[in-house]
């Protein structure tokens, strides 16, 4: 439609020539009125085509923008957890949004600012060939040289546009990071220095933006000079031919009209191509960060994990975080379905790494992990994670109501099921004390609640989820000892037929568990019931006695 509209615009110029020539001739009024009718009809058709093009372009651009953001989100979801700890959330969100906007601008530029000048150029060459072949060749050569010069000039500034895109995304990420940590800014009286830091970041972004902007302005200035020279030359040539009787007054009109239209169109097209380089800079920056190769991917045609009893097995599992040395070395663990297992050990021993590998947040470097005899690397990640309910140490809640956050574990759960899960996690009482009870919005990341309250809601989600495996990664560390033991007892009572794997800091909370694994320096050094391990007098017993002595000191 845009092509048709641009073609009508060129045809209007030629019909104008016919009208002028008819008016210049005597006794030719019928031809003049005929040309006038065609002129009016072409203008109407051109307007209708542009409006239809705008309607379709609006629907397509907006739809593509939505799909693109969703596709980028899907790809982002495939990155390991370590990726999100290395990139600011605000910066990633800004990149996704700006890329969709850049692509929409790219499509609009192609349809409305590049395609029409191309049609104008082809149509003008056809019309000029009917007037004077030499003039047609001269115009074609001038426009091609001008276009190539502006495109090459724009390409040389590509690094400026890419730098501005990166600086803009970084500034947005830093701003969101500071806003999300406003408590720390206030608590440490950091407003002046954080403002100074933001001032420096914004100044760097402004310098990059100015460099990108002024480079484009230089391209416009160069084109204005070329426009002045070429337009003056073509009009002088046309008037000279008319003065010699070589062309008609209508030819002069169409040459002047099309010359200005083509030269202005070439400027718009060339500068649009420069803008495309800017848009590519935004897209390139996003692909460089978000589009990094995914390290954890489903194998092609991977089946879903079949839920059974919840038996877990580690077979000679080794893993390292990059070049930092092995975090785990040839771990062998077999957890029968329905067993309650605690994992303890010194800080940095590899406890949380075991949990992360079980969720397949990372892929093992060696060995394999299976659930109910199914290698987790050979099933889909979504089905794997549907088979387990995980409560991490740092509970992050969505900026939604308490009810929505608990229901997040199982969207089809009834209100009554949510209430039962909340009571089992001992959070029903404090929820009723909130301003709007279960309908209270918890704030970004749950900031309106205490750490212990967030952990209880996280545990309620685990109780609610219908999963054969429950994973607790120091999930009760923010609770007092009495509350923690109450929840652990509820856990053992409610999850009798499910496998429970709990990383625990307070060892006394594991007294009701079937088994304890002691991890030290990436290896399983002890394995047995809590009572048996205490009798052995090894690492577990020493840790138990140290905690008991510390608790005794606190109570004196």
What does the pLDDT average to over 208-214? 83
Q: What is the pLDDT of residue 483?
A: 67
Query: Which one, of 386, 384, 336, lies nearest residue 358 by Cα?
Result: 384
Q: What is the pLDDT of residue 316?
A: 93
Residue 224 shares a structural domain with residue 327? no
Domain boundary among 289, 320, 338: 289
Distance of CA 534 to the CA centre of its chain: 50
Check: CB of residue 246 under 8 Å from CB of residue 132: yes
Residue 485 shares a structural domain with residue 351? yes
- Tell me what percent of the residues of the chain surpass a pLDDT of 70: 85
Predicted confidence band of residue 369 (pLDDT cuts 50, 70, 90): very high
Report yes or no on 305 lying in a domain. no
Residue 283 shares a structural domain with residue 316? no
Q: What is the pLDDT of residue 372?
A: 92
Check: CB of residue 367 under 8 Å from CB of residue 448: no
Residue 400 shares a structural domain with residue 526? yes
Q: What is the pLDDT of residue 128?
A: 75
Checking 49-58 for CB contacts under 8 A at 24+ apart, the result is 49/1, 49/2, 49/4, 49/5, 49/8, 50/1, 50/2, 50/5, 52/1, 53/1, 53/2, 53/5, 53/111, 53/112, 56/1, 57/107, 57/108, 57/111, 57/112
Q: What is the pLDDT of residue 256?
A: 73
- Tell whether the model's pLDDT for residue 555 goes beyond 60: no
For the ranges 4-8, 73-77, 131-135, the maximum mean pLDDT occurs at 73-77
Instruction: With residue 428 as reference, give the H or E element that holds it.
Output: helix 428-433
Residue 44 shares a structural domain with residue 177? yes
Residue 481 shares a structural domain with residue 430? yes
Q: What is the pLDDT of residue 50?
A: 75
* Degrees, nearest 5: CA angle 67-73-76: 145
Residue 55 shares a structural domain with residue 148? yes
Predicted confidence band of residue 224 (pLDDT cuts 50, 70, 90): confident
Report yes or no on 343 lying in a domain. yes
In the block, tokens 């002024």 appear at 214
User: Is the model more confident about 64 or about 18?
Assistant: 64
What does the pLDDT average to over 401-419? 90
Check: CB of residue 217 under 8 Å from CB of residue 137: no
Predicted confidence band of residue 303 (pLDDT cuts 50, 70, 90): very high
Q: What is the pLDDT of residue 539?
A: 85
Report yes or no on 432 lying in a domain. yes
pLDDT digits (tens, 9 = 90+) for 254-275: 777 777 777 666 666 666 766 7
Q: What is the pLDDT of residue 51?
A: 77
Tokens of 186: 């206030």
Find the domain containing 454 and state its range: 312-555
Residue 241 shares a structural domain with residue 355? no
DSSP 305-361: PPP-S--EEEEEEEEESTTS-EEEEEEEEEE-TT-EEEEE-STTSSHHHHHHHHTTS
pLDDT digits (tens, 9 = 90+) for 35-49: 778 777 877 887 787
What does pLDDT average to over the chain? 80
Q: What is the pLDDT of residue 314?
A: 94
List the CATH number of the domain containing 33.
1.20.1560.10
pTM score, whole prediction: 0.62
**Which of 21-30, 97-106, 318-327, 434-443 comes out lowest in average pLDDT?**
21-30
List the CATH number of the domain containing 343.
3.40.50.300
Instruction: With residue 370 as reference, give the H or E element that holds it.
Output: strand 366-371
Residue 226 shares a structural domain with residue 362? no
Report yes or no on 347 lying in a domain. yes
Predicted confidence band of residue 375 (pLDDT cuts 50, 70, 90): very high
463 half-sphere exposure, CB direction, 13 A CA radius: 27
- Tell whether the model's pLDDT for residue 214 goes beyond 80: yes
Report yes or no on 297 lying in a domain. no
* Degrees, nearest 5: CA angle 499-501-503: 165
Q: What is the pLDDT of residue 290?
A: 80
Domain boundary among 289, 323, 338: 289
Residue 374 shares a structural domain with residue 521? yes
User: Is the model more confident about 316 or about 63?
Assistant: 316
Domains held by the chain: number: 2
Residue 281 shares a structural domain with residue 358? no
Predicted confidence band of residue 458 (pLDDT cuts 50, 70, 90): confident
Residue 368 shares a structural domain with residue 498? yes
Report yes or no on 452 lying in a domain. yes
Domain boundary among 234, 257, 289: 289
Check: CB of residue 472 under 8 Å from CB of residue 498: no
Tokens of 120: 């104008």
What gap in Å lies between CA 124 and CA 139, rounded to an integer? 9
Report yes or no on 87 lying in a domain. yes
Q: What is the pLDDT of residue 266?
A: 65
Query: Which one, of 316, 296, 322, lies nearest residue 377 by Cα?
Result: 296
Torsion of CA 528, 534, 539, 543, to 10 degrees: 120
Report yes or no on 296 lying in a domain. no
Predicted confidence band of residue 550 (pLDDT cuts 50, 70, 90): low
């Amino acid at each position: 439609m845009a092509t048709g509209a641009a073609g009508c615009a060129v045809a209007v110029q030629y019909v104008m020539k016919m009208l002028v020539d008819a008016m210049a001739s005597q006794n030719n009024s019928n031809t003049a009125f005929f040309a006038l009718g065609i002129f009016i009809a072409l203008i109407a058709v051109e307007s209708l085509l542009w409006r239809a093009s705008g309607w379709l372009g609006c629907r397509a651009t907006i739809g593509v923008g939505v799909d693109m953001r969703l596709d980028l989100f899907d790809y982002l979801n495939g990155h390991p957890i370590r990726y999100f700890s290395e990139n600011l959330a605000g910066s990633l969100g800004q990149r996704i949004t700006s890329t969709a906007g850049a692509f929409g601008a790219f499509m609009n530029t192609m349809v409305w600012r590049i395609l029409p000048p191309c049609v104008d150029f082809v149509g003008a060459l056809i019309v000029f060939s009917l007037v004077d072949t030499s003039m047609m060749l001269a115009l074609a050569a001038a426009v091609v040289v001008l276009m190539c010069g502006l495109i090459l000039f724009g390409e040389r500034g590509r690094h400026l546009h890419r730098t501005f895109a990166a600086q803009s995304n970084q500034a947005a990420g830093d701003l969101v990071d500071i806003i999300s940590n406003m408590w720390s800014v206030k608590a440490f009286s950091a407003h002046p220095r954080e403002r100074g830091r933001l001032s420096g970041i914004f100044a760097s972004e402004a310098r990059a933006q100015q460099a990108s902007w002024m480079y484009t302005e230089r391209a416009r200035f160069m084109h204005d000079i070329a426009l002045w020279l070429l337009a003056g030359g073509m009009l002088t040539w046309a008037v000279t031919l008319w003065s010699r009787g070589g062309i008609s007054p209508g030819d002069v009109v169409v040459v002047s009209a099309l010359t200005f239209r083509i030269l202005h169109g070439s400027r718009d097209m060339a500068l649009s191509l420069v803008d495309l380089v800017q848009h590519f800079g935004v897209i390139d920056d996003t692909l460089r960060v978000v589009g990094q190769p995914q390290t954890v991917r489903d194998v092609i045609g991977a089946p879903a994990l079949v839920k059974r009893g919840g038996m877990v097995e580690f077979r000679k599992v080794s893993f390292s975080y990059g070049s930092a040395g092995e975090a785990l070395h040839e771990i062998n663990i077999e957890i029968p379905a329905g067993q309650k297992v605690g994992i303890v050990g010194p800080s940095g021993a590899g406890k949380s790494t075991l949990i992360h590998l079980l969720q397949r947040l990372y892929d093992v470097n060696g060995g394999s992990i299976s659930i109910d005899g199914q290698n987790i690397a050979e099933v889909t990640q979504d089905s794997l994670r549907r088979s387990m309910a995980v409560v991490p140490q740092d509970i992050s809640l969505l900026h939604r109501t308490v009810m929505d956050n608990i229901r997040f574990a199982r969207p089809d759960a009834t209100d009554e099921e949510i209430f039962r899960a909340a009571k089992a996690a001992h959070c029903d009482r404090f929820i009723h004390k909130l301003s709007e009870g279960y309908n209270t919005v918890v704030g970004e990341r749950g900031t309106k609640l205490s750490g212990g309250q967030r952990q209880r809601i996280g545990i309620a989600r685990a109780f609610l989820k219908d999963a054969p495996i429950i994973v607790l990664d120091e999930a009760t560390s923010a609770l007092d000892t009495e509350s923690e033991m109450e929840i652990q007892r509820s856990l053992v009572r409610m999850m009798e037929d499910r496998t429970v794997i709990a990383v625990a800091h307070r060892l006394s909370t594991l007294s009701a568990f079937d088994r304890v694994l002691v991890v030290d320096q990436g290896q399983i050094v002890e394995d047995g019931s809590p009572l048996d391990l205490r009798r052995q007098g090894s690492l577990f017993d020493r840790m138990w006695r140290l905690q008991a002595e510390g608790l005794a000191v606190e109570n004196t």
